[in-house]
Copies of this chain bind each other. A is one copy, B any other.
Amino acid sequence: MSFRFTTHHEAGRARTGTFVTPHGPIATPTFMAVGTLATVKALDPDDLRALGATMILGNAYHLHLRPGDALVREMGGLHRFMDWDGPILTDSGGFQVFSLEGLRTIDEGGVDFRSHIDGSKQRFTPESVMQIERNLGADVVMQFDHVAPGQSALDTSRDAMERSLRWLERCRVEHARLRRDDPDAPTPDQALFPIVQGGIHAELRQASCRGIRDGGDWIGYGIGGLSVGEAKPDMYAMLDVVDDALPHDRPRYLMGVGYPEDLVEAVRRGVDLFDCVAPTRMGRNGAALTRDGRINLRNARHRADPGPLDDACDCTTCRRFSRAYLRHLVTADEMLGLRLLSLHNVHFLVALMRDARAAVADGTFDGWSAAWLDRYLAGERARGSVARPVLPHSKK
């Protein structure tokens, strides 16, 4: 068995741990950068290693359409294809397929949809997605799930949650069959994670957790369908519910959540793994994360600022470049600007989780997290940065 999860320290429900995968160990809690199309946008694998990334993501939907999971497998699998020898997790594409409003029809067997690239007809089933993820060869593969819109009513959320449970069983059977019948896949020993659904309905989240646990003993657990438009208190409440309902000795992965304040709040609620396109997307939009909230480099007040984005940051962008230079690159639409900001933003979240681990380990987590949130949110309020995209991971 290539997978193992060990917890080391606790602070309330927060904990530090080590999640061992076929491609190495991951210190948790951690933030995983999103490499939708076999590249974390604008960053090189060397950048990712240098900033301390351990596990990164790929996406089954996007990679199936381009360049094709069969080609990735022919090229030796995702690790070799993109030259990333650390752990990789692939999302199943459930979120993407269900986001194709008007381009897809759902039945119990699966989903018919049209490619967002060329309009070609496609069909995903729990079984076909397991084959795609087998071909890609990530360490952790997510189940194919039915994702309902964030603020769905009870009935809609229940239908999606219950279908996700039925599809989980089909994923489990097919995943086991592939492990047995296809031992030459790029990563023979993959872990299948179920995904907790249920919208913002506590009873559905509890039922989802029960159904998942009735279906097997899983290496880790995904928590889906959050940070998709619901209010933050609703998201945090769901995390409280799920924390109680999932086993404590397994890693929990909160999918698509990547705002700094949400990471800290979720670590407080026992979450171990995070991913989000926000840091790279913000970078491409000229925005940067700082301990005092987000800043936009297009703002004229950075024009002649010789200081770094964040004077406590040890990323290579902050060690080398001024806000004035970064603003120049961003306003001139230079690719280097987008890259340097993406690098800083991913580093910011990776380092935030590193600091959280240290605070849990040395017994200062409660004070650390409260002070961190106070400072960050005060900066956000001062700047009026209250807007957030409704679907932060919609294009993942």
Q: Is A67 an interface residue (CB 8 A)?
A: yes
Let me know if B82 and A335 touch, CB within 8 A.
no
User: Could you say which of A37, A81, A328 has the most chain B C-beta atoms within 10 Å of its C-beta?
Assistant: A328
Let me know if B334 and A41 touch, CB within 8 A.
yes
Let me know if A336 and B303 touch, CB within 8 A.
no
Let me know if A336 and B42 touch, CB within 8 A.
yes
Let me know if A335 and B338 touch, CB within 8 A.
yes
Let me know if B37 and A334 touch, CB within 8 A.
yes
Q: Is A7 an interface residue (CB 8 A)?
A: no
Interchain CA distance A74-B325 in the complex, whole Å? 12
Residue on B with the closest CB to A333? Answer: B37
State how many angstroms separate the Cβ of A253 from the closest Cβ of chain B: 25
CB contact between A339 and one of B38, B44, B66, B331 (< 8 Å): that residue? B44
Let me know if B82 and A325 touch, CB within 8 A.
yes
**With A66-B328, A320-B83, A335-B339 given, is the CB distance from A304 to B37 under 8 Å?**
no
For A310-343 the 0/1 string (1 means CB < 8 A from B) is: 0000001000111011011101101111111000
State how many angstroms separate the Cβ of A83 from the closest Cβ of chain B: 5
A-B contact pairs, 21 of them (CB 8 A): A37-B334, A38-B329, A39-B334, A41-B335, A43-B336, A44-B339, A66-B331, A67-B324, A67-B327, A67-B332, A71-B304, A71-B328, A75-B306, A75-B324, A75-B325, A81-B322, A82-B325, A83-B325, A335-B335, A335-B338, A339-B339
**Besides A76-B306, A83-B325, 15 other CB < 8 A contacts?**
A38-B325, A43-B336, A44-B336, A44-B340, A45-B320, A66-B328, A67-B331, A71-B303, A71-B304, A71-B328, A75-B304, A75-B322, A81-B322, A83-B320, A339-B339
Give A residues with C-beta under 8 Å from B. Answer: 37-39, 41-46, 66-67, 71, 74-76, 81-83, 303-304, 306, 316, 320-322, 324-325, 327-329, 331-332, 334-340
